[in-house]
Amino acid sequence: MRGHAEVREYWTRQFETIDPRVEPQAFSEDEQGRIVVEVHQVVRDRQGNLIADQHAHHVYTIRGGLIARMDIRQEPNRQRQRVALLGEGRGEADVGE
């Protein structure tokens, strides 16, 4: 994805089909100066059926006081999602690898 509009459209579509609940558990800073938030996430479909109940790390890269990138990391060697929100005036995302 590129740009704010595409990132917004992606998340709007996601929230139309799922009901995610994400609760921060811990905050830290990694060796590259990124903010790491350990989260507990529970995801349900719109009918209330459980899709996922897991822990993950949300890793934020800050540039100029703004979030330039957000990585969502599951358990090691598991699916990784990256959502770049800002950065040089553009945004991009890779979902699943």
For 71-80, the pLDDT digits (tens) are: 888 865 444 4
Give me the chain's average pLDDT, please. Answer: 79
Rg (C-alpha) for the chain, rounded Å, is: 14
Tell me how far apart the terminal alpha carbons of the chain are, to the nearest angstrom.
Answer: 15
- Using 50, 70 and 90 to split pLDDT, how confident is the model at 68? confident
- Judged against a pLDDT cut of 80, whether residue 32 lies above it is answered with yes
**Taking the domains of the chain in order of start, what are their residue ranges?**
3-95
Which CATH number does the domain 3-95 belong to among 3.10.450, 3.30.2320, 3.90.380, 3.40.50?
Answer: 3.10.450
The whole-angstrom separation of Cα 89 and Cα 2 is 10
Look up the pTM and report it: 0.68
